[in-house]
Amino acid sequence: MKAHRIPSSEELAIIEGYKLLAPPEHFGLHEEADRELFRLNPSHLYVPSIEVSEKLGNITIATVGGAFGVGKGAAVTEAIKLSAQTPPYKGVGPIHPVVSGTTRIPQFRDGAIEEEGKHYYFAYELEQNRRLADSLRNGTLVQYAQPRGDGDIYFTEISHYPDDGIALLDAVPSAIVDLNRVLKPVGKTAIGIYRTAFFDQWMRQIRTRGDVIRLNGKIVDNDNYTKRMKEARTSIIQAMDLRKELDIKFFEAQTREGAGEAVIDILVGEHSEDKQKRAEKAAHSMLKGLEKRGFKGD
């Protein structure tokens, strides 16, 4: 089990400084006018400019989703490494990560404070909020989501995407619906990928970050832990519900390297039905484990 580091007093002070620049708690945006703009333009009805759709039509877009702690970020990292080999693994590539934006502040994660451009593009300051609202008005957002009502917004802009190759992004399963709507004018669809794990393996992976109430490198209270577990359950159910309609490919892997190989197998069309069934079995294991621990939804 890898060592786990909690934030230092200096790092906690930095995070507190971010909070001073962020919107009031539970509000994703500083100004009521911008909050109202997003309320009046729900993400499931958003259509970007035709220029955005045309640029995206030149690339392949794939999303990698999964419950927290399951290792979807590791899968993306390993797939990109394999595509950068000479020759690339199974001839795939180039694969480019798409870094999302968010209106939340940087958090302490995996032993360090999240970095701009590596983990997210952060847009929690007032002027950044205003630019985000302008992007919505101008149609240069690709997709966005506000999972908790008026809470933090997660988004991608057209500038986050490459000009060629494969764009790989970490996204919730429902984001595929939004991406397909964006791609429809150019006759393309996104590839949906979802990582699962058998429940005991999933719990071991979470514990390598600390213990079952220490997530993403920070100590959290039981209420927050409960919220994260409920969000995990929602993500799994959403993926299961959408898997046939959107042809979402599930995979389960025991190692980081195996996860990267599984992602590329899906991208090149070599994902077997047996692997799909095993990964779906793992998803059911996750749901059953959550239910046994009292996480049965609202």
Would 298 be classed as within a structural domain? no
pLDDT digits (tens, 9 = 90+) for 114-152: 999 999 999 999 999 999 999 999 999 999 988 766 688
What's residue 212's pLDDT? 43
Q: How many domains does the chain have?
A: 1
Longest dimension (CA), the chain: 52
Would 3 be classed as within a structural domain? no
pTM beyond cutoff 0.75: yes
Would 2 be classed as within a structural domain? no
What's residue 278's pLDDT? 98
Q: Report which of 74, 66, 72 is spatially closest to residue 256, judged by C-alpha positions.
A: 74
Domain extent at residue 245: 9-292
Would 61 be classed as within a structural domain? yes
Would 126 be classed as within a structural domain? yes
What's residue 231's pLDDT? 85
Q: What CATH number is associated with residue 33? A: 3.40.50.300
Q: What is the mean pLDDT of each run of 10 residues along the chain (298 residues)?
A: 70 94 87 94 90 93 92 92 92 91 88 91 96 96 81 92 93 87 91 96 75 47 71 92 92 96 96 97 97 80
Contact 37, 136 (CB under 8 A): yes
Task: Give, in order, the Cα–Cα distances in Å from 236 to each of 32, 93, 156, 285, 286.
Answer: 33, 28, 22, 11, 8
pLDDT digits (tens, 9 = 90+) for 30-79: 999 999 999 999 988 898 999 999 999 999 999 999 998 899 989 999 99
Would 297 be classed as within a structural domain? no
Would 79 be classed as within a structural domain? yes
What's residue 108's pLDDT? 85
